[in-house]
Amino acid sequence: MMHLYKKDSVFFQIHFDEPEVKYELKEYFSCFAPNYQWHPKFKAHQWDGKVSFFNYKENLLPIGLFPFFIQFCEALKYTYELVDDLDTIIEHVTDAELERFYQFLFHQSSLFPRDYQQTSISIAINKKRCCLELATGSGKSLVIYIIIRYLLKLKKQVLLVVPTVMLVDQMKQDFIDYGWKECNEFVEILYSNQKITNQKPVLISTWQSLVNREDNEFARFDGLMIDECLHPSTPIIMGDRSYKDIGEVQIGDEVLSYDKRQRSLVRQKVKRVFQNLSKVVDNVYEVELDNGMKIIGTGNHFVYTTNRMKRIDELTEKDDLVDMNNY
C-alpha cells in the first residue's frame, strides 16, 4: 500500500508500507538523458545515464504524472490511497457548464470558441497541468483569454509569461479586442526592472523580466500560463560560441545572449529550463538557411533580421538573419 499526500501544487509525497517499492517506482519513472553516452560522468562510470522523475530521497512525484502512477500500480498489482481529495488535483467542469460560460462571455460579441479550442480549454481547466499544442493561427490567444477569464470567475490570480516584450502589449490588446472592456482594471503588464504593483489579478510579462525576481513576488498567483515553446532541436549559441540544441541545455550552462540595453552580446548562466513533454507535431515552422542550419519554432517566435526583428511566419527568401556568432 502506498499513501499519496499532496505536498504542494506540484508534488505528491508518497508514504510506503514497504520501502523497497520506491526503488521500483524510481526505475519505472526513469529514462535515458539525451546524449547521455557522451557525458563525462557516464564515461567515468559515475552515472548510469538515466534521469528519474521520481525523487526517491524525498519520495516526491509530480502530480501531473498521476495517471502513469495508476498504470504502474495496475501493472504490478500494487494498491494506493489518495489521502487528499482528488478534487484538489483535478476539476470536474462539464462541457455544458463551459458552454454557458462562453455564452456569458461573448453575449455581446460575434466571437465564439471553435470546437478544437473548446477541447483545449476543457483539458486545461479540468487537468490544471498540461501542455496544449495549437497550430499557428488557430487562436491560441483566445484560448488563453478564456481560461484566464474562467479563473478570474473563481477568484484566482494568474501569471501569463510570453516570449517577447512586443507580445506583452499584443496579448493585452487581444484581450481588449475580444470585448473585455474592463481589461485595464484586471490586467497589469511588466517590463524589465519595473516593480510589480500586486494590485491587479492578472500579470503579463516575459521570462526575462521575471527570472531574477524574488520568489515571494509570485506567492499570490494561483495559476501560471506560458505561451510558446521552441522545438528541442533549435540550435543555441553557448558561452564558448559552440552550438547546442536547446533541448540539451541544462541549468548552469553559459549561453550567449543579446543585451538590448548594452547593444552587445553577453555570456549568461541558465537558471531555469522548461520542457514541453507533449509529442512534437507538424504545427511549427522550419526555416532553412543558406549555411545549412535549420531553425524550428512556432510562427510568432521572433528572430533578428538585418533590418529588424520579424516573426518566423513573416520571413521570406529575401530576408537575411543576423548570425550572432559573427556579430
Shared domain for 265 and 217, answered yes or no, is no
Mean pLDDT of 201-216: 87
pLDDT at 177 over 50: yes
More confident residue, 220 or 265: 220
CATH number, domain of 265, equals 2.170.16.10
Shared domain for 210 and 310, answered yes or no, is no
Question: Of 88, 121, 140, at which residue does a domain stop?
Answer: 88
CATH number, domain of 133, equals 3.40.50.300
Shared domain for 123 and 202, answered yes or no, is yes
> Which residue segment(s) compose the domain that 305 sits in?
235-326
Shared domain for 268 and 222, answered yes or no, is no
Question: Of 174, 203, 226, at which residue does a domain stop?
Answer: 226
Q: How far is 274 from 272, CA to CA, in rounded Å?
A: 7
Output the pLDDT for position 65.
Answer: 87
pLDDT bracket for residue 231 (50, 70, 90)? low
Shared domain for 122 and 205, answered yes or no, is yes
Among candidates 90, 168, 157, 165, which has minimal Cα distance to 129? Answer: 90
Shared domain for 100 and 218, answered yes or no, is yes
More confident residue, 323 or 326: 323
User: Which percentage of the chain shows pLDDT scores above 90?
Assistant: 37
The long-range contacts involving 110-117, CB below 8 angstroms and separated by at least 24 positions, are 111/142, 111/178, 111/179, 113/139, 113/142, 113/143, 113/146, 114/139, 117/142, 117/143, 117/146
Ramachandran angles phi, psi of 294, nearest 5°: -125, 140
Mean pLDDT of 246-271: 79
pLDDT at 276 over 70: no
| Domain total of the chain | 3
Q: Which residue has the cell 478544437?
A: 116
Mean pLDDT of 270-299: 68
Reduce the DSSP state of residue 306 to 3 states and report it. Answer: coil
Output the pLDDT for position 151.
Answer: 96
pLDDT at 265 over 70: yes
Mean pLDDT of 41-57: 90
Output the pLDDT for position 283.
Answer: 54
Q: Any alpha helices (H) in the chain, and if so which ranges?
A: 21-28, 40-43, 66-76, 95-105, 115-127, 140-153, 165-177, 183-186, 207-210
- Cell numbers of 39, please? 557525458
More confident residue, 261 or 245: 245
CATH number, domain of 45, equals 3.30.780.20
Three-class SS of 196-222? CCCCCCEEEEEHHHHCCCCHHHHCCCC
The long-range contacts involving 148-152, CB below 8 angstroms and separated by at least 24 positions, are 148/175, 148/202, 148/225, 149/105, 149/180, 150/98, 150/101, 150/121, 150/125, 151/222, 151/223, 152/186, 152/201, 152/202
More confident residue, 184 or 235: 184
pLDDT bracket for residue 280 (50, 70, 90)? very low
User: Which residues 6+ apart lie within 8 Å of 64 measured at CB?
Assistant: 127, 129, 130
pLDDT at 279 over 60: no
Output the pLDDT for position 206.
Answer: 87
Output the pLDDT for position 294.
Answer: 78
Q: How far is 7 from 13, CA to CA, in rounded Å?
A: 6
- Cell numbers of 232, please? 528541442
**In this predicted structure, which of 59-68, 196-205, 283-292 has the lowest mean pLDDT?**
283-292
With 0-12 / 13-18 / 19 or more C-beta atoms within 10 angstroms meaning exposed / middle / buried, residue 187 is buried
Output the pLDDT for position 282.
Answer: 41
Mean pLDDT of 109-114: 90
Ramachandran angles phi, psi of 77, nearest 5°: 60, 35
**pLDDT tens, position by position, 114-172:** 999 999 999 999 988 888 877 656 788 999 999 999 999 999 999 999 987 778 888 99
- Give me the chain's average pLDDT, please: 84
Output the pLDDT for position 227.
Answer: 86
Asked if residue 265 lies in contact with residue 259, where contact means CB atoms within 8 angstroms, the answer is yes
- Cell numbers of 270, please? 541558465
pLDDT at 33 over 80: yes
Output the pLDDT for position 167.
Answer: 82
Shared domain for 222 and 110, answered yes or no, is yes
Shared domain for 218 and 266, answered yes or no, is no
Output the pLDDT for position 278.
Answer: 41
Question: Of 88, 118, 153, at which residue does a domain stop?
Answer: 88
Shared domain for 174 and 285, answered yes or no, is no
Shared domain for 296 and 241, answered yes or no, is yes
Shared domain for 164 and 251, answered yes or no, is no
Shared domain for 105 and 82, answered yes or no, is no
